[in-house]
Amino acid sequence: MLTAEIERAKRKHPENMDAYDLFLQALPGLYTFDIDKNSQSLDLLHRAIKIDPNYPQALAYAAWAYEQRLTRGWPGYGQNDLETAVSLARRSITTATEDPHALAFSGFVLVMTAEDYELGVLTGERALQNNPNIGFISMMVAAVFLFGGGDIIKAKECIEHAIRVSPKDPAAHLFYMIRGLIYLDLGEIEKAIESCKTSVQLFSTWDTSLWSLIAVLVENGEVQEAGKVVQRLLKVDTTTTVRKVNTNFRINNQGLKMKMIEGLRKAGLPEK
């Protein structure tokens, strides 16, 4: 249904598009994790917000677009992407929306920008309460719990539920990456490796899946194999360094972050 709506919006003349049409047109580019398509999506989302300044979904997805740039250390879209991301997420929450997607993305952005872990986790919990049966929402809330330093058992329950109810989700690479890192955090390394490998198979050029696979392989003592994945990572982004990931990956779960950073370092990713 949503796919059909997106295709309909694409056929409309740019001058005749309302905020909803602009929002729909922005969605596909956000899931590519491509810098140029991210910029195009932000252009569309800002036009939507200009038409409707209190559009919770447009605000939340725009915040997520900025978070993607911040986490990867991409060049800024605006003068202060961090401040803008946080502002957009807070604005979405303060519309009093109960839309689970708007809440999940807003909570995730607050966690990933390191601005308000507590509110981020609480907002994620609210999203789950509003609709516990959408696989993508359960995955996003699992990420909020995992990265925000929340309840790791709840994170595990959420991600397993997400995969059960939406096994063929177009964003399944996200599901398996989050699942892999949850199992890494829990010390269940074989499950972590299996999930991270699945994520990479589903989206072979997504940097975060590659970071995660490197970390779990190193944790399992497979440093040479992890080094091969580092070479794949550097083909995806030649500017990736340990320092860059350490600076931009602002999660509150310091135990997990240490495993990821040390994994990248031991596997041979350049320090700076």
Q: Which fold has domain 169-272?
A: 1.25.40
**Model's pTM, two decimal places?**
0.91
Closest listed residue to residue 173, CA positions, set 12, 50, 33, 8: 33
Per-residue pLDDT at 4: 45
Indicate whether 69 pLDDT > 70: yes
Q: How far apart are CA 256 and CA 145, in angstroms?
A: 12
Same CATH fold assignment for domains 1-131 and 169-272: yes
What is the residue extent of each domain of the chain? Answer: 1-131, 169-272
Percent of the chain with pLDDT over 90: 89
- How many residues are present in the chain? 272
Query: 82 CB contacts (<8 Å, ≥6 apart)?
Result: 66, 70, 113
pLDDT in tens, 77-110: 999 999 999 999 999 999 999 999 999 999 999 9
pLDDT in tens, 131-154: 888 999 999 999 999 999 989 999
Task: Provide the CATH number for the domain formed by 1-131 in this structure.
Answer: 1.25.40.10
Please report which confidence band the pLDDT of residue 12 belongs to, taking 50, 70 and 90 as the band edges. very low
Q: Are 77 and 42 in contact (CB under 8 A)?
A: yes
